[in-house]
Amino acid sequence: MKNSINVGLVGYGFMGRTHSNAYAQACKFFPHTIHPVLKAVCGRDPVKLQTFADNWGWESTETDWRKLIERSDIELIDICSPNDTHMDIVLAAAKAGKMIICEKPLAKNASEARLMVDAVKKAGVPNMVCFNYRRVPAVTLAKRMIDEGRLGRIFHYRAKYLQDWTMSSNLPIGGPTLWRLDAKAAGSGVTGDLLAHSIDLALWLAGPIQELTAMSKTFITNRPLQADPSKSAKVEIDDACAFLARFKNGALGTFESTRYARGRKNQNTFEINGELGTIAFDFENMNVLEYYDHRADSAYRGFSKIQVWDGDKHPYMGNWWVPGCGIGYEHTFIHAISDFLYGLEQNTKLCPDLEDGYKTQLVCDAVLASAASGSWQQL
């Protein structure tokens, strides 16, 4: 089998850094037969791009993603650019027969996502959407515990994803990171940016959602434009969004997301209540999974905080440090890239793939439609 993959990365912002670091680290900590080669990085500003390439060890640069895709030495296109670029890049990369990794949300909406899924299926190219929170060891452990039947029948799924970084009304629309405030670039606000993570985890852990009803709010309705701060524009993204859901398995779900929860920087949580037990996770304490086992002796029963750093027993942790030395945000991306490589090496389904990203996008669209109309949406 071929033992290297030449990677072409599109985008050198926050996600460009997390992915570059992941390519550099994955094979140092996980035994792989296929090694990623940091062949080329693509972005529009040649000076910033070169600095980025030098820092992370990318061999070359391109300022047009089309040229990157045309290059015969590039085998994998990794998309870390804003959401409004995902579809065109995926369609062109699939047509050129390249493997694809795409940041979340997969697209601005489900119709774009559908075309992307059709394109990768037609081309038969390996593909993955980067929902990195699945790769937190505590979250992967939660999945294992559910599959082992430790919760029994699930009654409730309760998710929150809270941040506070857009509360200032001086923050402009557009530019690095702040393209997330521009509906044309982002597609939506917290629904695509944050709830997409919560929805992906919910579908993975508790199964399909059948129907939902949502409400959303834009708290700051006008903002200066980054391109010309003397001008302002109407804000068209959702600053906060909450929805109620019924899962196909009969469980009830509540989901809440906002960028206006003062003090909450990246609080991505879920609690799942089952007949036999409960598990709860909070990314701000990511090396811990709370577990209540109703089958334990009632004299000693109570919530335990499982410290998810036991190399013998816990997902991914055997490849890191000794127990007690936890891991962080960047490791979730290293695990994602490592899982992608294992998928190729073992010829197994890559997970989550673009089809999974599409399923999340369908729920996001239903959330936005319900928030706009006030009606229940069926999935």
Applying CB under 6 A, the residues found at the interface with ligand SOE are 14, 163, 193, 266
Q: Which CB atom, from 128 or from 251, has the smaller least distance to ligand SOE?
A: 128
Minimum distance between the CB of residue 178 and ligand SOE, rounded to whole angstroms?
10
Minimum distance between the CB of residue 179 and ligand SOE, rounded to whole angstroms?
11
Minimum distance between the CB of residue 266 and ligand SOE, rounded to whole angstroms?
5
137: enclosing H helix or E strand: helix 137-147
Minimum distance between the CB of residue 193 and ligand SOE, rounded to whole angstroms?
5
Alpha carbons 163 and 111: distance in angstroms, whole number: 28
Are 212 and 363 in contact by the 8 Å Cβ rule? The answer is yes
Core vs surface per residue 164-190: b (16+ CB within 10 A) or e: bebeeeeebbbeeebbbbbbebbbbbb
CA angle 109, 332, 287 (to 5 degrees): 120
Minimum distance between the CB of residue 263 and ligand SOE, rounded to whole angstroms?
15
DSSP notation for 65-103 = HHHHHH-TT--EEEE-S-HHHHHHHHHHHHHTT-EEEEE
Largest alpha-carbon pair distance within the chain? 66
DSSP notation for 182-238 = -HHHHSSSHIIIIIHHHHHHHHHHH--EEEEEEEEE-S--EEEBSS-TTSEEE--S-
Q: Which CB atom, from 14 or from 376, has the smaller least distance to ligand SOE?
A: 14
For 375, counting Cβ atoms within 10 Å of its Cβ (0-12 exposed, 13-18 middle, 19+ buried), the class is exposed
Q: Are strands 240-247 and 209-217 parallel, antiparallel or unpaired?
A: antiparallel
Minimum distance between the CB of residue 64 and ligand SOE, rounded to whole angstroms?
25
Core vs surface per residue 295-328: b (16+ CB within 10 A) or e: eeeeeeeeeeebebbeeeebbbbebbeeeeebbe
Q: Which CB atom, from 98 or from 108, has the smaller least distance to ligand SOE?
A: 108
Minimum distance between the CB of residue 180 and ligand SOE, rounded to whole angstroms?
6
Q: Which CB atom, from 58 or from 131, has the smaller least distance to ligand SOE?
A: 131
Q: Which CB atom, from 6 or from 85, has the smaller least distance to ligand SOE?
A: 85
Counting every residue written for the chain, the total comes to 379
Residue nearest to ligand SOE as judged by C-beta position: 193
Q: Which CB atom, from 133 or from 291, has the smaller least distance to ligand SOE?
A: 133
Q: Which CB atom, from 163 or from 377, has the smaller least distance to ligand SOE?
A: 163
Q: Which CB atom, from 129 or from 242, has the smaller least distance to ligand SOE?
A: 129
Minimum distance between the CB of residue 163 and ligand SOE, rounded to whole angstroms?
6
